[in-house]
Structure 1
């Protein structure tokens, strides 16, 4: 049996309706077609998948009348699961078909198909971000609201994927789960990476996984930016490791540009925007991120930037926001800000 991509697509076509029920679950059968909103499994009727071969036309082929996209069932698996590596697509197809996984030397050929982005590359990050949707009205928005994080709809760094692919790094088992997608960008606003936070489908916080949050792409020097226009100078800003920490500060200071570097090492290497005069670095109550804070403070000082460390009242600033409330958090921060900045960014009183 051939291990080529075309052979996998043909085998999937033999079970087209079962594939659609698994990966396009928001659709329904209508005659010889499966109707759904799009290849990412949105609700609607603009995309139709042929379920049985007719007049020489193969089963499993699909077209989206709205966008003009078309393809086969491998594309359905790739897009609906949010996969960014072709090996993952074929692995998932083989899992569905209950076929044995090949060794590395006999991986399926990608001849005749568009090359997939390299695993973990900036292009892979951009593709997954493009596959996702705005968070308004989604489980991602509900998750953030449950953490006390209510952001302006103008924040374009955040997206939602209803069925993002997750692989257990120990067992190799795979599943698809909803995920909050946060874009990591450079100072020009170009996506270089992203962070995925897998969510519990029931809406009860993060998914019950060993590592429900993972990043990919080029992260060093870049960040999840909130409240900054690409390429624009920034006089005053805040930076820290975690996205939820920085988003919590953004809730009480909506005019302040903030950057989440995703880790202590990446915080240490954060590239600061031109024109920056004061940098507030968010710390956690523990000392895990001390290296990143000290290194970034040193680099800022060498560049003539005043660096000041913000310390939470509880474990981190999201704890402060959730348990003490935005007014208490703003009051707690007021004594840690330069008076000029406190008057500019913090609410009166």
Structure 2
């Protein structure tokens, strides 16, 4: 959360009960909490908003006991009013607090505020900034159900409890929980975001037509786990790459998000060996072969890594991490086994 957002959240927390009475009018005060059905202001008692600082946490924080969602008063304003851009949330918070609007250009170096185009890199920045840590979330539950039991070093992943989804421009908006991934360039600057909408219990993807979508600038970039230097593993999907990471937690890895984007990834300047995770399908084989050819053409040793089954997540879920570890050990260069696998 940015400094300006933190300041607004703090000011709202100082008037937490007034905020709840205004935006969550279907609820009521119970002791030190405001209770309501959910963040959409439905009557009920599942959601609790803390009205005073206490040993359990600061005022203004809320938790929905039915869904596990949690957040602050800025989240409440966004969801109740159906706002998308943070600047609109901030403007509404300032209106409620009777604060002046920021000067033109404030918050944007050398420029003026302007609407953010849907699907743009800036929209992806805002989406990722508004998401929360993956730890303890439905996104972590989803990964665990896929056999990925460690989320250490996955700062590129976050969780959004109420991420908007539309099948197409003419369909009504739906709201689903989602895993949000930051897409970055070689310098670590965010250029896009990837959304995986999740079922409400976190055990699978959401039952929608396209549960995975990306936004922003993607070509050449990817979702990064660790900082690549001379050795890198690259694969298509996030779950595929995180499955390999269960066996190689210290190896830098990149998820390109599709076969086409895998074939086009940009190489770190010091890279000397590239491992390419294979998905056993025609598109995966074509992307692997093209990427290996590109890497070899610029003097990078490129090696394909093959799963025993359809993909590495299937291997992980079927045979567990130790068998996956052994399968990868047999395909890595001995020096990389010694460097990344032997304790």
2:148 aligns with 149
Match of residue 338, structure 2, among 332, 335, 343: 343
1:323 aligns with 318
Q: Does 1:46 align with 2:60?
A: yes
Offset of 1:297 from its aligned partner? 1.2
TM-score, structure 2 normalization: 0.71
TM-score, structure 1 normalization: 0.70
- Please give the alpha-carbon distance, in whole angstroms, between the structure 2 residues aligned to 1:202 and 1:71: 21
Aligned Cα root-mean-square deviation (Å) = 3.5
What SS class does the counterpart of residue 302 from structure 2 fall into? strand
Structure 2 matches for 1:17-56, cutoff 5 A?
Answer: 17=25, 23-24=39-40, 36=49, 45-46=59-60
Offset of 1:114 from its aligned partner? 5.2
- Please give the alpha-carbon distance, in whole angstroms, between the structure 2 residues aligned to 1:256 and 1:14: 50
Contact kept? 2:23, 2:76, Cα under 8 Å: no
Contact kept? 2:38, 2:44, Cα under 8 Å: no
Deviations 1:105-150 (A, max 9, x none): xxxxxxxx95332111111011000000001111111111111113
- Please give the alpha-carbon distance, in whole angstroms, between the structure 1 residues aligned to 2:61 and 2:149: 34
What SS class does the counterpart of residue 329 from structure 1 fall into? helix
1:261 aligns with 256
What SS class does the counterpart of residue 25 from structure 2 fall into? helix
Deviations 1:256-308 (A, max 9, x none): 00000001111111011121111000111111223322221122112110111
1:160 aligns with 159
Give the direction of change, closer, same or farther, for the CA distance of 1:262–1:175 in structure 2 (3 Å limit): same
Give the direction of change, closer, same or farther, for the CA distance of 1:188–1:296 in structure 2 (3 Å limit): same
- Please give the alpha-carbon distance, in whole angstroms, between the structure 2 residues aligned to 1:328 and 1:35: 45
Structure 2 matches for 1:151-300, cutoff 5 A?
Answer: 151-169=150-168, 172-228=171-227, 234-300=229-295
Match of residue 309, structure 2, among 306, 311, 314: 314
Contact kept? 1:35, 1:45, Cα under 8 Å: no
2:124 aligns with 125
Offset of 1:195 from its aligned partner? 0.8
1:59 aligns with none
Offset of 1:319 from its aligned partner? 0.4
Contact kept? 2:24, 2:41, Cα under 8 Å: no
- Please give the alpha-carbon distance, in whole angstroms, between the structure 2 residues aligned to 1:176 and 1:147: 23
Give the direction of change, closer, same or farther, for the CA distance of 1:37–1:321 in structure 2 (3 Å limit): farther
Structure 2 segments unaligned to the other structure (5+ residues): 1-20, 28-35, 52-56, 63-70, 89-111
- Please give the alpha-carbon distance, in whole angstroms, between the structure 2 residues aligned to 1:205 and 1:276: 35
Give the direction of change, closer, same or farther, for the CA distance of 1:274–1:27 in structure 2 (3 Å limit): farther
Deviations 1:153-204 (A, max 9, x none): 3321010011111111276122111111111111111111111111111233
Contact kept? 2:292, 2:302, Cα under 8 Å: yes
Structure 1 segments unaligned to the other structure (5+ residues): 1-12, 49-65, 88-112
